[in-house]
Chains A and B, each alone.
Chain A
Amino acid sequence: MLSSCKKYLDVVPDNVATLESSFANANETQAYLFGCYNALQNLSDVRRNAGFTTSGEIIFPFPLQDQNVLGPGGDGGFQILRGTQNSANPILNYWDGYNMGLDLWQPIRRCNTLIENIDLPKDLPLYNKARWIAEAKFLKAYYHYWLLRMYGPIPIMDKNNPVNATTEEVRVKQQPVDSCFSYIVGLLDEAAKDLPPVIQNTALEEGRITSTIALAVKAEVLATQASPLFNGNPDYVAMKRQDGTSLFPAAYDAGKWQKALDATKAAIDAANSSNASLYDLKLTGSITHLGDSIRQLLTLQGAVVDSWNQEQIWTLNPQFGWQYMASPRVTADAAANVFAVYSNFSVPIAESELFYTDNGVPINEDKTWDYAGRYTLQNGDQQHFYYIRLNYPTAKGNFHREARYYADVSFDGANWFGSGNTDDRNMNYVNAVNGFASPPDQLRYNATGYWAKKLVHYQSTAGASSVWQGYSWPFLRLPALWLLYAECLNEVNGPTAEAYSWIDKVRARAGLQGVVDSWNNYSRTPGKPSTKAGLRSIIHQERRIELAFEGQAGWDLRRWKELQNVLTGPVQGWNVFNRTVNGYYQVVNVFQPIFGLRNYFYPIQDYDILTNPNLTQTLYW
């Protein structure tokens, strides 16, 4: 009687799904692995990427009539520059997963769970088992790396604690940054040896991690460790754990650059052996007429927007979803449907001025370029026929610029190949003063008058029913590795021919002469490439230009500790709501960015420090 009563309450059949069921067979286990990848794919959303939103490359207007056009809180990362960051409820909170951040500790736990349970499925072939473990290790490493870049010292969660772990066990401590770097590099090494160098079955597996990716990431990790932000940064020496352990190394260690150099070399070798090379333009669809000038621009841009090309070492599957934010309205159709194009991604004048002159040197160094008169007006001429609308008045600074400027940035008077018009003899163009591209309202406008054209595919067409030619978001391109290698070479050996050669490979594609020649011939400081500091500055600028709008600059500027300088002045743009030419071409301050020393690292949410008193708040927060 009693036992039958007890049975009455045993309503659970034996075979309900539990955690173990996720590893019942190889198929379930692969699904679990995909779950581990989930956060990585989400990182490709530029709104979540501090390297994209908080870099000074693109700003987002405020206030708008509807601030939620990027989704609720979607513009949070951009607005950090307006001083909204705080420790009570941090923006881009990657510790807890709030405010456009992701909780990265969950995927880390997932990776650990996968590694712990990988022996459960009986039907999992050994080669897959090794590969999947390696992928999980890579992901674990990358998530730690992402956190490390944002927060500096972080706890290392290499093993899962049981759910009922004691208070002491779960109150983990931050590890010194060098331990974190070593841990990540160790994992990447372990992962690289079991990963395939290239994806064979691209239809099913493109986007999964290869050993080439792992080695390239390792190079980037080691370069980050060697960079000033982490390598003997005097500003952060004071950051200590509760038990007194120093979390940042006190002294600069040049040896770290050597390690980065070796790793970058290994990565380049791996890329070469997996047939990585610079992008060749592949045209799809019908082209009415295409000359060399526009072909060059499309090639430069296509390296980013033509997915899975041979130059992209690492691409994430999710597609860039914000072309309508980056594009100007260039056709009557696009203007007629105001909902087609928003144009809110605004490029500050300072970012546009980063691009070289057509002589391959910075605009303020070029002897032949009228730097002082760059805000005066000039009509489009025959020489710039392909870049600037003929006889259209625009800022003088838009003339005589390198090809990457015209490939990456659009402005009032710039021609626009594509958007339904593929005849480079009579292209659409941007009229931001009183034409299609001028603001229709207080919501769909570009706050500076510069558009990130690089992010908009030429086949994308806005109109009554827009078609946006999608592309998967690249995380790492071959030129980035080359420039990183040049950077390491310069840091280890100073200016050398070898260092120049890697930069020049990138410049050559942009149609520019080599560093030494360009500076010799056109720069007011011709000796700049011959000093270590001079070459460093050249490499940094080259890298910012080459990787513009790709979500890299924010991270680079941080590790170089240069972001604060970039953001000292006000963000400027044209007087975009004025509909006369002279009124429009007034430089106005959009806002004054707020970026202090403390903004190099992100605050940990105060509440997390309450729940884990062993944690130390990021310095200055």
Chain B
Amino acid sequence: MYEILAFHICKPPGCIKKFFLVMRMTVFLLFFALMQVSAEGYSQSITYRGKNITLKQVFNEINKQTGYNVFWSSGIIANAPRMDVNFENTPLREVLETCLQRAHLTYSIEEKSIIIQADTQAPAPVEDALPPGTITITGTVRDTTGAVMAGVSIVIAGSKDEGTVTDNNGKFVLDVKEGAVIVASFVGYEQQRFTVVAGRAVYNVVMPRDVKLGDEIVVTAYGQKQRKEAIVGSVSSINPEQLRTPTSNLTNALAGQVAGMISFQRGGQPGLDNSQFFIRGVTTFGYSPSPLILVDNIELSTNDLARLNVDDIASFSILKDASAAALYGARGANGVILVTTKGGKSGKARINLRYERSISKPTKTVELADPVTYMKLYNEAVATRSAVGIPQFTPNQIQGAEATWTKSPGYNPYLYPAVDWMSTLFKKQTTTQRANLGLSGGTEFAQYYISGSYDRDNGIMQVNPVNNFNSGMKFENYQLRANVNMKVTKTTEAIVRLWGNFNDYTGPITSDQSGFATDLYDQALHSNPVAFPAFFAPDSANMGTKHILFGNNIHLTGGLMSNPYASLMYGYKSFSESRMSAQFEVNQDLRFITRGLNFHGLFSTNRYAYFDLVRNYSPFYYSINPSDAAINKYSLIWLNDQPGAAQEYLSYDPSRNNKNVNTYIYFMGTVDYSHSFGDHNIAATLVGTREQTQTANASTLQLSLPHRNLGLAGRLTYNYKSRYYVEGNFGYNGSERFAPNHRFGFFPTIGGGWIVSNEKLWQNSNISNIVTRLKLRGSYGLVGNDNIDRVENNRFFYLSSVTPHAGPGAYFGTRNNFTMNGPSIQNYPNPDATWETSHKSNLAVEFTLYKNFNVIAEYYWEFRKNIFQPRGYIPVTEGLESTVKANLGTAYAKGLDLHMDYKQTFTKDIWISGLGNLTITSSRYGHVEEPQYKYAYRFQSGRPINQQFGYIAERLFVDDKEALNSPAPAFGGPLPQGGDIKYRDVNKDGIINQDDQVPIGLPTTPEIIYGFGISAGFKGFDINAFFQGLARESFFMNPTSQDDRWNGYYGTTPFVNNAQILKAYANNHWSEENQNLYALWPRLATYDIPNNQQQSSWWLRDGSFMRLKSLEIGYTLPKRLIRKAYMSNLRIYFNGLNLITWSHFSLWDPEMAGQGFGYPVQKVFNIGINANF
């Protein structure tokens, strides 16, 4: 259950030496969880009389009357004098003090134990000092948030425990002498001192948290808590507060916040704006380089992680090396993300209320050429490619559109439309609201944490009042979480966690994967701005018409064109999505079997449900009647007048409604044991897990079978004197996707740590004043990755996957009506398939300079083998219908994680802190099964993973003649002309083909991610700025005409697929008038020119950037103002996200890489208020 090794509470603090004495004396167990030694411990009293009594007799009596165990060594009391005692209902504390003082002994109380220690401090010569007059002081102790603190010890410096502790209201009363120095201390907080001066009786104390790296508790595999000091593996944990950004997507806050995580966001489309993140970079070229994500031990998807509410998070850690992740065995090779949610704390109910309101808009909007430029350039594109080409737009049309665009007198927007689709469809910005309420509290026996949140994202789309339904977008998210801990018996704790996440959406109809109607953005970018107006004003025939008169034209190929405005208005879709999770845990202390043994059991299940509904009318499309327009009459032609093609009433098609349901069940059992003898501490853990997911929407039989996992994992740790740590781990687990003989794998690791600064030699030398803490650690081991291929392709690697009657077929008979289809083969059996295995090594040094400056530097290297990859050598002549893959590939990776933080408090009111993270990774292919290329530069082996191959573009061709006489490109399509891209014939064979592709640029995933932030506070104000960036990344502008919104590929080729033209291309392209050989865009065309659409250095760009990721300014109102409202804390803050970006690339946000027509990354301005009651 809890990691208990070497953790001790000393009261008063700073008693490590005493602690070691105790260790010698006896062996005992302490529980971290019960660190708040309550003041009630002292309230018990003793009645005891006797003469010539020994200390031992006193102790026995105490034990008899109070139940406290008293620990002492016979040596320590050997010289204690006998005494006469006369206690009548005397508090225990007084009894102890009276008896021990004379023997120069002291004591401490830990839970139910009283530990007797030698008092090493010289006995204070109390009798020598003349009492300068005693005064009674009082005061209240609070933490920095203003909450009162109970149980804080208030001690007179130099005395032996002379003092008191604060009560439940944080109050203390103490009789002291003037000039005495009072020390307030509490575990986990910085000690505070003040001097008692004459004439002042009230001393309020504020205790800031003492963030000493070594004392932090870190959540590691399977929710195990370990002290940071004791960890030998590589675990980064983030203060969840750092992840607070004004977005509803947690993954977008990760970049730069954690040393060892590579993260970037490629698009801002709501619902599809998850960042990609990789722990220690991409170290495999197999199917999945993604980490395992666990929330309260339950495996969840990236989407679930994205929706988590920061206020609910208690801890966020990532497991990076083998030692940390090995317990996950065959699933941990890509690292693990662990999140735990908050539990309750005993005490009065505390309420945390937060409300935020944000405005978001694109960090950078792609700039499109205006409609008139569009027409002119379209004509240029036709003319420049074909001598006989007929211009698309007549000068008359261009003039008319220009008049419309500039709203010149007499313009006719219906005859000569010039539409800015972007602003017709979208508002400049949108708003979001978030509210969050957290409630926690409890008694000694039961604690609770309940939170609820409500988010509302409003759409960015324009709304037309003509519709009697609102097609404007609204997305609401509700979350409810209840975590309750109950002490059922003295040794049994039960925990119940309930969590529900509910989303409701209504908005325009979309075919979008996300469900959100953001495909409209893409439609707007792929709509001709001058073909038709968005809608017409009614003509005389349509004066009474109820529907919108949408504009349209018959496309060249027959159908109607797409009118994005109609797509926005013609109906609405709603969906409802929910995930309910129930989790029950039990912690059982098994001390009745043997001390130090604990059991933890967990059962969890969640249910997911989704459905959507679509209702729409069929839009009416019109075009202007040009012959009437010529005689200055305004009349419209109804274009889709076929029966049923246009209708005013709503229709509903049940087959368009999607439903998706799945269930998940998880069991986990853990047994812990820990034991200490002398300087030796050992602990062991054994975890068994079992997991099953089932989905109701499987498309094939194999996919409908339950997805299961089974695992057994163990950890054994040993430390000596809290200086030397050794740890061994293993994971033994299985995946049902492999053949029985490959189903279970064993993944062992070993690691060790040495806390140099705990060595006597170190502590005694001067260097300990500079380097206050120094720790070295290292680990080595194996971890696996069983997510090696898409489940849809390859559910069971060892089975063939065949769909009968779904494959190729034929039909016969004079009327062609006898049809049969053969099977389709998705997969051939591969009984040898197994997981990837990663050999990971990690070395780290952690140190603290001058107490305030913490550094963790880690260096790692990794060898990945058994990467599942297609068999490169199987020629197509084998006639196989699906790719045969095998565990063939290997890869190497190495890198550096660096974390630094610093905090300095100057006075009570002024503090400053900073932190920085740097992640450097590099990985390269080891063995890859590749064809036997003729040219060495074509092999991937040895190259960085994700480095791209492409052609070397030299410049644009000067003229057609040069193009004709240059090495011929083998891309198909029309032969290149002047102004098309000229490639280097690398192998000098006279043809530009694959053999001329060389590795170009840097990998497309960044090799360096960094982030640094600085925070400062002055009185009630605080300011926090965080900068984040990435470097060593290349991307290719997408020069194709792709319009694949399902996968997020958007090419920027103008005109093709009805695409608009970017202003940048309009201003800077090769044309016959301006034959710039280095123009941004080559010669225009209205169709695809494959020569210019190849991946080449022409489109290669530097992806590095740095941005002011967030800036926050907050103000905490003075307590006296808010107390009347029963608040303990009230903070108002303004913050912003993605405010400023520095980059070499200016066309669109560099983080989106090549997909310029994708939905832009958002910039957010937010105002929030946070109140505690």
Taking Cβ atoms with an 8 Å cutoff, the residues of A that contact B are 5-6, 8-13, 16-19, 21-22, 28, 30-41, 62-63, 65-67, 69, 76, 83-84, 86-89, 91, 95-96, 99, 103, 105-110, 112, 155, 157, 160-161, 163-165, 167, 170-172, 202-208, 307-308, 317-319, 339, 441-443, 472, 577, 606-608, 610-613, 615
Contact = CB atoms under 8 A, between A and B. Distances in A.
Most buried by A among B708, B710, B804, B830: B804
A35 B807 contact: yes
Interface string B784-809: 00000000000010011011110111
Given A110-B879, A202-B814, A317-B811, A611 B821 contact: no
Interface stretch (B384-392, B1001-1009, B1060-1068): B384-392
Interface string B240-276: 0000000000000000000000000000000000000
B743 A9 contact: yes
B936 to A, nearest CB: 14
A17 B803 contact: yes
B799 A8 contact: no
B393 to A, nearest CB: 13
Given A69-B557, A163-B829, A317-B816, A172 B710 contact: no
A610 B813 contact: no
Contacts of A160: 878-879
Interface string B810-823: 11111110111111
Contact of A172 (B740, B875, B974): B875
Contacts of B809: 31, 34-35, 38
B43 interface: no
B835 to A, nearest CB: 14
23 contacts: A9-B735, A9-B743, A11-B708, A16-B701, A17-B823, A21-B804, A30-B820, A35-B808, A38-B822, A39-B808, A84-B973, A86-B970, A107-B879, A157-B877, A170-B874, A170-B875, A202-B813, A206-B814, A207-B812, A208-B812, A308-B814, A442-B390, A611-B874
A141 to B, nearest CB: 15
Given A9-B708, A41-B810, A170-B878, A86 B821 contact: no
Contacts of A163: 828-830, 880, 884
B592 interface: no
Contacts of B830: 163-164
B794 to A, nearest CB: 13
Q: State which size class the interface on B falls in.
A: 35 or more
Contact of B804 (A11, A17, A38, A108): A17
Nearest to B811: A317
B972 A84 contact: yes
Nearest to A315: B814
Contacts of A164: 830
A89 B812 contact: no
Given A31-B822, A606-B994, A17 B813 contact: no
B225 interface: no
Contact of A18 (B707, B800, B878, B879): B800
Most buried by B among A5, A37, A317: A317
B706 interface: yes
Contacts of B1021: none
B802 A18 contact: yes
Contact of A613 (B821, B879, B932): B932
Given A31-B805, A207-B811, 20 more contacts: A6-B740, A8-B690, A9-B734, A10-B740, A12-B705, A31-B804, A31-B809, A34-B811, A66-B557, A88-B971, A88-B993, A89-B970, A109-B881, A160-B879, A202-B813, A203-B815, A317-B811, A317-B812, A339-B557, A612-B875
Contacts of B812: 34, 204-208, 317
Interface in B39-95: none
A611 B878 CA distance: 12
Interface of B: 385-386, 388-390, 556-558, 690, 701-702, 705-708, 710, 734-736, 740, 743, 796, 799-800, 802-805, 807-816, 818-823, 825, 828-830, 872-881, 884, 931-933, 970-975, 991, 993-995, 1086-1087
A95 B876 CA distance: 7
A106 B734 CA distance: 35
B831 to A, nearest CB: 9
Most buried by B among A10, A37, A307: A37
Most buried by A among B557, B815, B879: B879
Contact of B879 (A31, A157, A203, A577): A157
Nearest to A171: B875
A203 B813 contact: yes
Contact of B736 (A11, A91, A207): A11
A99 B970 CA distance: 14
Nearest to A442: B390
Most buried by A among B803, B830, B972, B995: B972
A442 B388 CA distance: 10
Given A88-B993, A89-B970, A204 B818 contact: yes
Contact of A87 (B810, B872, B993): B993
A109 B736 contact: no
Contacts of A109: 878-881
Contacts of B877: 95, 105, 155, 157, 170, 172, 608, 612
A110 B881 CA distance: 9
Identify whether the interface residues of B are mostly helix, strand, loop, or mixed.
loop
Contacts of A577: 388
Contacts of A22: 802, 804, 822-823
A587 to B, nearest CB: 16
Given A35-B810, A84-B972, A170-B873, A610 B390 contact: no
A311 to B, nearest CB: 15
B800 A9 contact: no
A542 to B, nearest CB: 31
Contacts of B991: 86, 88
Nearest to B972: A84
A9 B736 contact: yes
A35 B993 contact: no
Contact of A31 (B390, B702, B708, B820): B820
B549 to A, nearest CB: 24
A611 B994 CA distance: 14
A33 to B, nearest CB: 8
B821 A31 contact: yes
A617 B197 CA distance: 99
A412 B736 CA distance: 71
B875 A611 contact: yes
A38 B879 contact: no
Contacts of A443: 556-557
- Among all A-B residue pairs, the 4 with the closest Cβ atoms: A35-B822, A109-B879, A610-B931, A38-B808
Contacts of B971: 86, 88-89
A63 B708 contact: no
A35 B390 contact: no
Contact of A606 (B388, B880, B995): B995
B974 A63 contact: yes
Contact of A63 (B386, B702, B799): B386
A339 B690 contact: no
Contacts of B810: 34-35, 37-38, 40-41, 207, 317
B582 to A, nearest CB: 22
Contacts of A91: 972
A21 to B, nearest CB: 6
Given A16-B799, A35-B822, A28 B804 contact: yes
B382 to A, nearest CB: 9
Contacts of A13: 705
Contacts of B820: 30-31, 34
A608 B876 CA distance: 7
B31 to A, nearest CB: 32
A21 B802 contact: yes
A28 B993 CA distance: 45
A34 B822 CA distance: 6
A10 B970 contact: no
A88 to B, nearest CB: 4
